[in-house]
Amino acid sequence: MKWDVVFQPQNLALYGEGVVTTLALLFSSLAAGGLLALFMAIALTERWSWLRRVVGLYTYVMRGTPLLIQVYLIYYGLGQLEWIQARWDDVWPWTHFKDPAFCAVLALSMNTAAYTAEMLAGAIRQTHHGEIEAAHAYGLGHWGVFWHVVLPSALRRTLPAYGNEVVMMLQTTSLASAVPSLIDITSAASRVYSKYYLPFEAYVFAAVIYMFITFVLVAFFKLLERRFLSFLAPRTSH
Protein backbone atom coordinates (compact mmCIF):
# COMPACT_ATOMS: atom_id res chain seq x y z
CA MET A 1 0.00 0.00 0.00
CA LYS A 2 1.25 3.45 -0.90
CA TRP A 3 -1.11 5.77 0.95
CA ASP A 4 1.57 8.47 1.11
CA VAL A 5 0.98 9.08 -2.61
CA VAL A 6 -2.67 9.97 -1.99
CA PHE A 7 -1.69 12.43 0.73
CA GLN A 8 0.82 14.29 -1.40
CA PRO A 9 -0.14 18.00 -1.54
CA GLN A 10 -0.89 18.03 -5.27
CA ASN A 11 -3.13 14.98 -5.00
CA LEU A 12 -4.96 16.31 -1.95
CA ALA A 13 -5.52 19.53 -3.89
CA LEU A 14 -6.93 17.47 -6.76
CA TYR A 15 -9.35 15.70 -4.40
CA GLY A 16 -10.23 19.08 -2.87
CA GLU A 17 -11.13 20.41 -6.30
CA GLY A 18 -13.21 17.27 -6.81
CA VAL A 19 -15.11 17.86 -3.54
CA VAL A 20 -15.91 21.45 -4.54
CA THR A 21 -17.12 20.35 -7.98
CA THR A 22 -19.18 17.48 -6.54
CA LEU A 23 -20.90 19.72 -4.00
CA ALA A 24 -21.52 22.40 -6.63
CA LEU A 25 -23.11 19.80 -8.92
CA LEU A 26 -25.17 18.39 -6.06
CA PHE A 27 -26.60 21.62 -4.71
CA SER A 28 -27.11 23.22 -8.12
CA SER A 29 -29.02 20.21 -9.42
CA LEU A 30 -31.06 19.92 -6.20
CA ALA A 31 -32.05 23.59 -6.39
CA ALA A 32 -33.01 23.52 -10.06
CA GLY A 33 -34.55 20.05 -9.83
CA GLY A 34 -36.50 20.94 -6.70
CA LEU A 35 -38.05 24.00 -8.32
CA LEU A 36 -38.97 22.01 -11.43
CA ALA A 37 -40.32 19.17 -9.27
CA LEU A 38 -42.64 21.55 -7.43
CA PHE A 39 -44.35 22.66 -10.64
CA MET A 40 -44.49 19.08 -11.93
CA ALA A 41 -46.00 17.84 -8.66
CA ILE A 42 -48.71 20.49 -8.96
CA ALA A 43 -49.34 19.37 -12.55
CA LEU A 44 -49.54 15.72 -11.46
CA THR A 45 -52.20 16.48 -8.85
CA GLU A 46 -54.33 19.09 -10.63
CA ARG A 47 -57.50 18.57 -12.67
CA TRP A 48 -56.02 18.93 -16.16
CA SER A 49 -55.73 15.36 -17.42
CA TRP A 50 -53.64 16.28 -20.50
CA LEU A 51 -51.04 18.00 -18.30
CA ARG A 52 -50.93 15.03 -15.93
CA ARG A 53 -50.27 12.74 -18.89
CA VAL A 54 -47.48 14.93 -20.29
CA VAL A 55 -45.71 15.28 -16.94
CA GLY A 56 -46.34 11.62 -16.12
CA LEU A 57 -44.70 10.61 -19.39
CA TYR A 58 -41.71 12.80 -18.58
CA THR A 59 -41.23 11.29 -15.12
CA TYR A 60 -41.67 7.80 -16.55
CA VAL A 61 -38.99 8.32 -19.20
CA MET A 62 -36.52 9.99 -16.82
CA ARG A 63 -36.96 7.30 -14.16
CA GLY A 64 -36.95 4.49 -16.72
CA THR A 65 -33.65 5.33 -18.42
CA PRO A 66 -30.13 5.33 -16.91
CA LEU A 67 -28.80 8.71 -15.84
CA LEU A 68 -25.51 8.01 -17.62
CA ILE A 69 -27.34 7.76 -20.93
CA GLN A 70 -29.13 11.02 -20.15
CA VAL A 71 -25.76 12.71 -19.52
CA TYR A 72 -24.40 11.37 -22.81
CA LEU A 73 -27.50 12.45 -24.74
CA ILE A 74 -27.32 16.00 -23.39
CA TYR A 75 -23.56 16.50 -23.69
CA TYR A 76 -22.82 14.52 -26.84
CA GLY A 77 -26.18 13.87 -28.50
CA LEU A 78 -27.52 17.43 -28.67
CA GLY A 79 -24.25 18.61 -30.19
CA GLN A 80 -24.89 16.41 -33.21
CA LEU A 81 -28.10 18.23 -34.12
CA GLU A 82 -27.45 20.68 -36.93
CA TRP A 83 -30.13 23.06 -35.63
CA ILE A 84 -28.24 23.39 -32.33
CA GLN A 85 -24.79 23.46 -33.96
CA ALA A 86 -25.86 26.47 -35.99
CA ARG A 87 -26.81 28.34 -32.81
CA TRP A 88 -24.55 27.26 -29.98
CA ASP A 89 -21.83 29.81 -30.73
CA ASP A 90 -23.95 32.92 -30.25
CA VAL A 91 -27.60 32.10 -29.45
CA TRP A 92 -28.70 31.74 -25.82
CA PRO A 93 -29.32 29.21 -24.24
CA TRP A 94 -27.57 26.92 -26.72
CA THR A 95 -24.21 28.57 -25.98
CA HIS A 96 -24.26 26.83 -22.59
CA PHE A 97 -24.33 23.37 -24.15
CA LYS A 98 -20.60 23.66 -24.81
CA ASP A 99 -20.05 23.94 -21.06
CA PRO A 100 -19.51 20.51 -19.43
CA ALA A 101 -20.68 21.71 -16.02
CA PHE A 102 -23.94 23.07 -17.45
CA CYS A 103 -24.67 19.79 -19.24
CA ALA A 104 -23.97 17.77 -16.10
CA VAL A 105 -26.16 20.00 -13.92
CA LEU A 106 -28.94 19.92 -16.52
CA ALA A 107 -28.93 16.12 -16.67
CA LEU A 108 -28.81 15.74 -12.89
CA SER A 109 -31.55 18.36 -12.39
CA MET A 110 -33.91 16.80 -14.90
CA ASN A 111 -33.36 13.38 -13.35
CA THR A 112 -33.87 14.32 -9.71
CA ALA A 113 -36.87 16.48 -10.66
CA ALA A 114 -38.68 13.40 -11.96
CA TYR A 115 -38.14 11.41 -8.77
CA THR A 116 -38.86 14.34 -6.44
CA ALA A 117 -42.03 15.28 -8.34
CA GLU A 118 -43.48 11.80 -7.93
CA MET A 119 -42.61 11.75 -4.22
CA LEU A 120 -44.14 15.15 -3.61
CA ALA A 121 -47.21 14.38 -5.71
CA GLY A 122 -47.78 11.23 -3.69
CA ALA A 123 -47.56 13.18 -0.43
CA ILE A 124 -49.97 15.81 -1.78
CA ARG A 125 -52.52 13.11 -2.70
CA GLN A 126 -52.23 11.61 0.80
CA THR A 127 -53.05 14.86 2.60
CA HIS A 128 -55.79 14.14 5.12
CA HIS A 129 -59.14 15.38 3.88
CA GLY A 130 -59.91 16.82 7.30
CA GLU A 131 -57.05 19.32 6.94
CA ILE A 132 -58.48 20.52 3.63
CA GLU A 133 -62.02 20.81 5.01
CA ALA A 134 -60.74 22.79 8.00
CA ALA A 135 -58.87 25.17 5.69
CA HIS A 136 -62.00 25.70 3.58
CA ALA A 137 -63.95 26.37 6.77
CA TYR A 138 -61.54 29.23 7.49
CA GLY A 139 -62.42 30.74 4.13
CA LEU A 140 -59.35 29.75 2.10
CA GLY A 141 -59.83 29.15 -1.61
CA HIS A 142 -58.37 26.33 -3.71
CA TRP A 143 -54.89 27.80 -4.10
CA GLY A 144 -54.89 29.22 -0.57
CA VAL A 145 -55.51 25.74 0.78
CA PHE A 146 -52.75 24.35 -1.43
CA TRP A 147 -50.03 26.87 -0.53
CA HIS A 148 -50.85 27.24 3.18
CA VAL A 149 -51.99 23.74 4.13
CA VAL A 150 -51.45 20.99 1.55
CA LEU A 151 -47.96 21.87 0.32
CA PRO A 152 -46.34 22.49 3.76
CA SER A 153 -47.84 19.26 5.06
CA ALA A 154 -46.65 17.32 1.98
CA LEU A 155 -43.14 18.79 2.21
CA ARG A 156 -42.82 17.71 5.84
CA ARG A 157 -44.01 14.17 5.11
CA THR A 158 -41.68 13.90 2.11
CA LEU A 159 -38.57 14.68 4.18
CA PRO A 160 -37.44 11.07 4.87
CA ALA A 161 -37.82 9.99 1.24
CA TYR A 162 -36.25 13.21 -0.03
CA GLY A 163 -33.29 12.70 2.28
CA ASN A 164 -32.68 9.36 0.58
CA GLU A 165 -32.99 11.07 -2.82
CA VAL A 166 -30.35 13.65 -1.86
CA VAL A 167 -27.95 10.91 -0.77
CA MET A 168 -28.59 9.04 -4.01
CA MET A 169 -27.96 12.25 -5.96
CA LEU A 170 -24.62 12.61 -4.21
CA GLN A 171 -23.64 9.15 -5.42
CA THR A 172 -24.89 9.79 -8.95
CA THR A 173 -22.81 12.96 -9.29
CA SER A 174 -19.96 10.50 -9.88
CA LEU A 175 -21.46 9.94 -13.35
CA ALA A 176 -20.41 13.50 -14.18
CA SER A 177 -16.90 12.08 -14.50
CA ALA A 178 -18.07 10.82 -17.90
CA VAL A 179 -18.07 14.45 -19.05
CA PRO A 180 -14.57 15.60 -20.08
CA SER A 181 -12.77 18.33 -18.12
CA LEU A 182 -15.03 18.03 -15.07
CA ILE A 183 -12.99 17.18 -11.98
CA ASP A 184 -15.33 15.70 -9.43
CA ILE A 185 -14.28 13.26 -6.69
CA THR A 186 -14.43 10.23 -8.99
CA SER A 187 -12.49 12.04 -11.72
CA ALA A 188 -9.83 13.01 -9.17
CA ALA A 189 -9.49 9.36 -8.14
CA SER A 190 -9.26 8.31 -11.79
CA ARG A 191 -6.45 10.80 -12.42
CA VAL A 192 -4.49 9.61 -9.39
CA TYR A 193 -4.98 6.02 -10.54
CA SER A 194 -3.87 6.73 -14.11
CA LYS A 195 -0.80 8.65 -12.93
CA TYR A 196 0.43 6.29 -10.20
CA TYR A 197 -1.33 3.01 -11.10
CA LEU A 198 -2.79 2.76 -7.60
CA PRO A 199 -6.47 1.96 -8.11
CA PHE A 200 -7.13 0.67 -4.59
CA GLU A 201 -5.72 3.68 -2.74
CA ALA A 202 -7.18 6.22 -5.18
CA TYR A 203 -10.73 4.89 -5.15
CA VAL A 204 -10.85 3.92 -1.47
CA PHE A 205 -9.90 7.49 -0.56
CA ALA A 206 -12.66 8.75 -2.87
CA ALA A 207 -15.12 6.34 -1.22
CA VAL A 208 -14.17 7.66 2.23
CA ILE A 209 -14.88 11.23 1.06
CA TYR A 210 -18.29 10.20 -0.30
CA MET A 211 -19.08 8.39 2.97
CA PHE A 212 -18.15 11.46 5.03
CA ILE A 213 -20.38 13.75 2.94
CA THR A 214 -23.17 11.16 3.15
CA PHE A 215 -22.83 11.09 6.94
CA VAL A 216 -23.18 14.90 7.09
CA LEU A 217 -26.24 14.85 4.80
CA VAL A 218 -27.94 12.07 6.75
CA ALA A 219 -27.31 13.87 10.04
CA PHE A 220 -28.72 17.08 8.57
CA PHE A 221 -31.93 15.39 7.42
CA LYS A 222 -32.31 13.64 10.77
CA LEU A 223 -32.25 17.07 12.42
CA LEU A 224 -34.89 18.31 9.98
CA GLU A 225 -37.06 15.27 10.66
CA ARG A 226 -36.83 15.79 14.42
CA ARG A 227 -37.75 19.45 13.92
CA PHE A 228 -40.63 19.07 11.47
CA LEU A 229 -41.90 15.53 12.07
CA SER A 230 -41.80 15.41 15.85
CA PHE A 231 -45.60 15.22 15.94
CA LEU A 232 -45.38 11.76 14.34
CA ALA A 233 -43.19 10.35 17.12
CA PRO A 234 -44.84 7.80 19.46
CA ARG A 235 -46.32 9.38 22.58
CA THR A 236 -44.73 8.20 25.81
CA SER A 237 -46.93 7.72 28.83
CA HIS A 238 -45.96 9.35 32.13
Q: What is the mean pLDDT of the chain?
A: 87
User: Which of the four pLDDT bands, split at 50, 70 and 90, describes residue 98?
Assistant: confident
How high is the pLDDT of residue 87? Answer: 73
Residue 238 pLDDT > 70: no
Of 74 and 63, which is predicted with more confidence?
63
Per-residue pLDDT of 21-69, as tens digits, reads: 999 999 999 999 999 999 999 999 988 888 999 999 999 999 999 998 9
> How much is the average pLDDT of 167-195?
89
How high is the pLDDT of residue 232? Answer: 57
> How much is the average pLDDT of 111-133?
89
Domains of the chain by residue range: 3-229
Residue 7 pLDDT > 70: yes
Q: Phi/psi zone of residue 181: left (φ > 0), alpha (ψ -120 to 50 degrees), beta?
A: left
The CATH number of the structural domain formed by 3-229 is 1.10.3720.10
